[in-house]
Chain A
Amino acid sequence: MRIKTPREKRILYFKTTLRWILYYLLILLSFIIMTSGTWMKPILLVPAAMCIAVSNGQLASAFTGAFCGMLIDIACGRLFGYNAVILAFFCALVSLMFELYLRPRFFNYLWITAAVAFAQCWLDYKFYYQIWDLADIQVIFRTVTMKVWLYTMISAFLIYPLYRLIDRLLLPKIHMTLEEAIRTN
């Protein structure tokens, strides 16, 4: 990796701080939207966490995933930490997948988000409804779980450009030496 000058380091530090501030502002905005009104709403924090995991390291992604999960727990009245565990795990996994196997493209983000959102919704249905073996519980799966998943997927289309914009403006470009580039390829 090329050695950075002190000025470059300062700019990098500033941009990184600003990027994370914007990430978290968007997360809080998503939380506020999720807790407003009485209509059924998408779990906006899942695509948001995935967006961050696509372009950041595993640790940062896991922490963000945990934070988003906690907010989901508050918004959805779930056991505090339940969704945090799920999202921290998935965020770290997604971050790893994008680092090793996948390119940060919209299609990859979309199917990954679809899978994670479905897993989150399905686990929610299993642990919060089906496990109690209530009568007509499949109605919940049809009318709530699947609907929420669908809404979440639609919201993913809107959330992705916002995070991409932040990344495009503030994510540091990776500069490799010629030797590193040759080794990588």
Chain B
Amino acid sequence: MKPEPLLFAEDLVIRFGGLAALDGVGLRVDRGEVVAVIGPNGSGKTTLFNVVTGLYRPHRGRVVLKGQDVTGLPAHLVARRGVARTFQISRLFLDLSVLDNVLLGCLGRHRPRWLEPLVRPHSSDRRLREAAERAVVLLEEVSPELTVRCYRPARELTLAERRRLELCRALASDPDLLLLDEPSAGMDVRETQALMDEVRALRERRPDLGIALIEHDMTVVRGLADRVVALNYGRKIAEGTFEEVAGSPEVREAYLGA
């Protein structure tokens, strides 16, 4: 018997106006697995992520996380159950420091105690201090360069550094499932290589972490993914190893129109 999947989504349908952005898509991610989602622009990849993370509510279908149905749950509750993500265009807290960005990631897993700073100042201070320590350890793990600049605003970072920080922030909540939306977009060859090394190192550090990534760069897909899912017009057109999917006539047609 196969172990219970980390993420199991099936038959997802979501329509925007008359357009079915997702038209019966499923996605399965096991623990320790890297699944790449590919497909032409507008094929529904990011929408799929948005449905899985609870930003959009699907019209049909269900999302099951670690055996629990999370369909239609608000985004913050899905995140608290162990889903973290990055965004296609990075969404850092630009006016906050590098450290505060990661720190906020650490805070997400439990409910904030709003009155504690006034009622029990010491325990509130201690918790924040400890979270800051954890954040800096995490930052050190992902990028020593960012650690040096932990008190600089995130606005000052380059594009590649911003993506790295966003990854670090996502990892700060110690997720079970990590969704990366086009992690290599806008990066040059060297930065892309560094990113791949980082994901590989991450798999070694956290062998149980399931990763799904949307990617256009086939070098990255080939180098990282255990399994590839191809979408077009909101439907799954192929699934399998990189070679299988790359050989699929439907995928070729979707990309090349031939």
**A complexed with B:** no
Where the two chains meet, the residues of A that have a C-beta atom closer than 8 Å to any C-beta of B are: none
